[in-house]
């Protein structure tokens, strides 16, 4: 399955596989062109996950500073994304269609199956739920579109894979700069740049993880996505919209 291969916390030069090892979190927004910068110009596709999870509460102030983990509680919210369809149109379209479920399958009801603090959150395995499954809208796998966008900061969306040209549906959200993944994993979007609530949710879900990627025993589920009005024990609704933005170790998948 697409899984980011665990990376040693002491050596970050390792490669990621469908199984993401070492650092791991999800959102929707309508940022301004200026706020999005050169990576997210007008015309970017916007998508979101409505998620629910149990874990430590995280707060964020107006300056984007996150609090230390608080009490464990049941939580829910929306993570907003902007997709780089002008950079990687095929990869972005795959994620968008899996968000809406318009092909008859997608992310609805799936979860983040691997979460490593200060690294990433990995999800997208909607067929098996353990990092060994998933599929793209083009078939089981599709090729690497390009590696133009680098893993230079947190809150980026990138494809998990099992090696070159093995992209399916599994993805990860970075929670730190992960430059060792450059040239191996396709970055295709980001958590809404100025959406602090979306980033707060990612950090809160990240707090349920561990160094080996397993969910902490006292945190229950790590986050679930529900889609198109379907009820699910996991995440809430999924969706996407096209249109202009207004003002505003290595990861791997298990085979």
* Per-residue model confidence as pLDDT tens digits over 91-127: 999 999 999 999 999 999 899 999 999 999 999 999 9
* Per-residue model confidence as pLDDT tens digits over 165-180: 999 999 999 999 999 9
Measured at the alpha carbon of residue 67, what is the angle toward residues 208 and 250, in degrees to the nearest 5?
Answer: 45
* Per-residue model confidence as pLDDT tens digits over 192-225: 998 999 999 999 999 999 887 776 655 444 455 5
Give yes or no: 49 in active site.
Answer: no
Give yes or no: 113 in active site.
Answer: no
The answer to the question of residue 120 being in a domain is: yes
Instruction: Give 243's Cβ-side CA count (13 Å radius).
Output: 11
What confidence score (pLDDT) does residue 15 get? Answer: 37
What confidence score (pLDDT) does residue 237 get? Answer: 39
- Alpha helices for 40-140 (secondary structure H): 89-100
CA distance 140 to 151: 25
Measured at the alpha carbon of residue 234, what is the angle toward residues 199 and 77, in degrees to the nearest 5?
Answer: 30
Pick the catalytic residue from 172, 193, 234, 235: 172
Kindly provide the b/e burial profile for residues 196-218, where b requires at least 16 CB atoms within 10 angstroms of the residue's own CB. Answer: bbbbbbbbbbbbbbeeebebbee
CATH of residue 200: 2.40.100.10
CA distance 158 to 161: 10
Of 9-18, 92-101, 107-116, 227-236, the least confident:
227-236
Pick the catalytic residue from 75, 161, 167, 170: 161
From 156, 66, 149, select the one nearest 120 (Cα to Cα).
Answer: 156
Name the domain count of the chain.
1
Pick the catalytic residue from 81, 95, 112, 119: 119
From 5, 121, 120, 88, select the one nearest 110 (Cα to Cα).
Answer: 121
The answer to the question of residue 235 being in a domain is: yes
Contact 214, 74 (CB under 8 A): no
The answer to the question of residue 74 being in a domain is: yes
The answer to the question of residue 44 being in a domain is: yes
Pick the catalytic residue from 12, 27, 185, 193: 185
The answer to the question of residue 98 being in a domain is: yes
Q: Is the pLDDT of residue 34 over 90?
A: no
The answer to the question of residue 11 being in a domain is: no
Give yes or no: 105 in active site.
Answer: no
Which domain range does residue 125 map to? 33-241
| Owner of token pair 């998990």 | 160
Give yes or no: 161 in active site.
Answer: yes
The answer to the question of residue 12 being in a domain is: no
Give yes or no: 238 in active site.
Answer: no
Rounded to whole angstroms, what are the CA distances from 61 to 73, 175, 195, 200?
A: 20, 18, 12, 10
More confident position, 254 or 115: 115
What confidence score (pLDDT) does residue 230 get? Answer: 25
Give yes or no: 172 in active site.
Answer: yes
Q: Is the pLDDT of residue 79 over 90?
A: yes
Give yes or no: 75 in active site.
Answer: no
The answer to the question of residue 246 being in a domain is: no
Question: 51, exposed or middle or buried, with CB in 10 Å at 0-12, 13-18, 19+?
Answer: buried
What confidence score (pLDDT) does residue 212 get? Answer: 77
Question: Residue 253's beta-bridge partner residues?
Answer: 18
């Amino acid at each position: 399955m697409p899984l980011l291969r665990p990376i040693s916390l002491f050596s970050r030069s390792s490669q990621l596989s469908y199984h993401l090892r070492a650092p791991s979190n999800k959102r929707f927004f309508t940022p301004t062109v200026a706020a999005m910068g050169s990576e997210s110009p007008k015309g970017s596709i916007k998508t979101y996950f409505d998620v629910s999870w149990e874990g430590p509460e995280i707060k964020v102030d107006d300056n984007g500073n996150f609090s230390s983990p608080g009490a464990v509680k049941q939580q829910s919210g929306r993570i907003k994304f902007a997709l780089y369809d002008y950079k990687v149109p095929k990869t972005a379209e795959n994620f968008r269609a899996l968000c809406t479920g318009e092909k008859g399958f997608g992310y609805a009801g799936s979860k983040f199956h691997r979460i490593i603090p200060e690294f990433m959150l990995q999800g997208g395995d909607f067929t098996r739920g353990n990092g060994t499954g998933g599929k793209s809208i083009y078939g089981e796998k599709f090729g690497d579109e390009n590696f133009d966008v680098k893993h230079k900061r947190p809150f980026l969306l990138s494809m998990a894979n099992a090696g070159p040209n093995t992209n399916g549906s599994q993805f990860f959200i970075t929670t730190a700069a992960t430059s060792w993944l450059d040239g191996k994993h396709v970055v295709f979007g980001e958590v809404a740049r100025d959406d602090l609530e979306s980033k707060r949710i990612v950090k809160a879900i990240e707090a349920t993880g561990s160094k080996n990627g397993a969910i902490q025993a006292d945190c229950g589920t790590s986050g679930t996505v529900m889609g198109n009005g379907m009820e699910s024990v996991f995440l809430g609704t999924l969706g996407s919209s096209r249109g202009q933005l207004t003002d505003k170790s290595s990861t791997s998948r298990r085979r």
